[in-house]
């Protein structure tokens, strides 16, 4: 890999995530599946972008590319201005299922990234019962889980586990936060509550967020931009700004202009493919 491929100066200096003419194909020959056709996408530092589209369109593929969990078949992926294969980026990830180690307390689960991610891991032994514990407890307080650090994962509800999962994703101060349908398995009331918590965390810490969701209301509530993807092989067919003032509320999602945005997004998705995406999680 040459130095020119590792960095992208100039127009990418303020970009946290960049996909440049990126494509992904699984398998070879007759068994090949084109998951993502040639796609370009750029997220500025501190931006909150949601990816929506029909199932199988490549939303999670883009997330995996940004996380360095999947190599691009074509093109380049840059995180923090450097090609992702050239240097590991500090990334936080939360998935639909908040997987926690059952033999560790909630606090110890949250602190796991500090144990394995530089530069924190070198100080873990010295700080785990001091500064790092305080950092975890401060995050727990922000998401309404004060006093639950010593509990075990099996003692928490699904919504509480997702709150703890957000804490774990943010504990090591990532520049980029990747969210793959983190609230999809929750009931509507819990989901709406967690939208508010995530919005507050983002407004406080301002990481760059890339959210994959089937829920158009969730995307419009949380995101600064919404990127609509076509059916497989996926590509971004529309990139739309969401200009509603923050902080946003659940009540705001019933206003006419908010509903009109969701209807417009849904119409674009259903026009470009047979799989409809509704205004609630699919």
Is residue 101 assigned to a domain? Answer: yes
- The count of domains in the chain is 1
- Of 67, 100, 253, 252, which is closest to residue 175 (Cα–Cα)? 67
Q: Is residue 28 part of a domain?
A: no
**Is 265 domain-assigned?**
yes
pLDDT for res 89: 63
The tokens of 249 are what? 């509320």
Whether 52 maps to a domain, the answer reads yes
Structure tokens, 147: 């006093």
**DSSP helix/strand/coil, 3:** helix
Please indicate, yes or no, if residue 132 is contained in any of the structural domains: yes
So what's the pLDDT on residue 270? 80
Range of the domain at 205: 46-68+90-272
How far is residue 180's CA from residue 178's CA, in Å, rounded to a whole number?
7
Neighbouring residues of 219: CB distance < 8 A, sequence distance ≥ 6:
50, 52, 211, 213, 226, 242, 265
Q: How far apart are CA 103 and CA 226, in angstroms?
A: 39
Sequence-ordered alpha helix ranges (H) in the chain: 3-6, 59-67, 106-116, 124-127, 131-142, 158-170, 188-205, 216-222, 256-272
Residue 88: what pLDDT?
55
At 279 the pLDDT is 40
Read off the CATH number of the domain in which 246 is found. 3.40.50.300
Tens of pLDDT, residue by residue, the chain (282 residues): 344 445 444 445 578 999 999 999 988 877 888 889 999 999 999 999 999 998 888 899 999 999 888 889 999 999 877 776 545 567 899 988 888 999 999 999 999 999 998 889 999 999 999 999 999 999 999 999 999 999 999 999 999 999 999 999 999 999 899 999 999 889 999 999 999 999 999 999 999 999 999 999 999 999 999 999 998 888 899 999 999 999 999 999 999 999 999 999 999 888 655 444 444 433
Residue 253 within any structural domain of the chain: yes
Tell me what pLDDT residue 273 has: 52
pTM: 0.87
Cβ proximity of 43 and 53 under 8 Å: no
Q: Is residue 6 part of a domain?
A: no
Please report whether residue 133 resides in a domain.
yes
């Amino acid at each position: 890999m040459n130095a020119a491929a590792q960095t992208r100066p100039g127009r990418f200096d303020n970009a946290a995530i960049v996909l440049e003419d990126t494509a992904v194909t699984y398998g070879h020959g007759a068994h090949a599946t084109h998951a993502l056709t040639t796609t370009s996408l750029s997220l500025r530092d501190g931006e909150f972008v949601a990816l929506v589209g029909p199932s199988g369109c490549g939303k999670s593929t883009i997330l995996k590319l940004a996380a360095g969990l999947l190599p691009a078949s074509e093109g380049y992926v840059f995180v923090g201005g450097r090609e992702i294969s050239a240097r590991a980026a500090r990334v936080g990830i939360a998935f639909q299922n908040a997987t926690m180690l059952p033999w560790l307390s909630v606090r110890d689960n949250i602190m796991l990234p500090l144990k394995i991610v530089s530069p924190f891991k070198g100080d873990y032994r010295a700080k785990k019962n001091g500064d790092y514990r305080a950092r975890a407890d401060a995050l727990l307080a922000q998401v309404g889980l004060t006093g639950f650090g010593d509990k075990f994962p099996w003692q928490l509800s699904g919504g509480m586990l997702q709150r703890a999962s957000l804490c774990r994703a943010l504990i090591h101060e990532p520049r980029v936060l990747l969210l793959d349908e983190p609230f999809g398995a929750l009931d509507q009331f819990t989901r709406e509550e967690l939208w508010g918590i995530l919005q507050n965390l983002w407004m406080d810490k301002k990481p760059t967020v890339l959210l994959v969701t089937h829920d158009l209301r969730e995307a419009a509530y949380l995101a600064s931009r919404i990127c609509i993807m076509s059916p497989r092989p996926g590509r971004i067919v529309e990139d739309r700004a969401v200009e509603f003032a923050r902080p946003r509320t659940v009540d705001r999602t019933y206003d006419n202009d908010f509903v009109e945005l969701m209807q417009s997004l849904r119409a674009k998705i259903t026009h470009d493919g047979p799989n409809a995406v509704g205004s609630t999680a699919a």
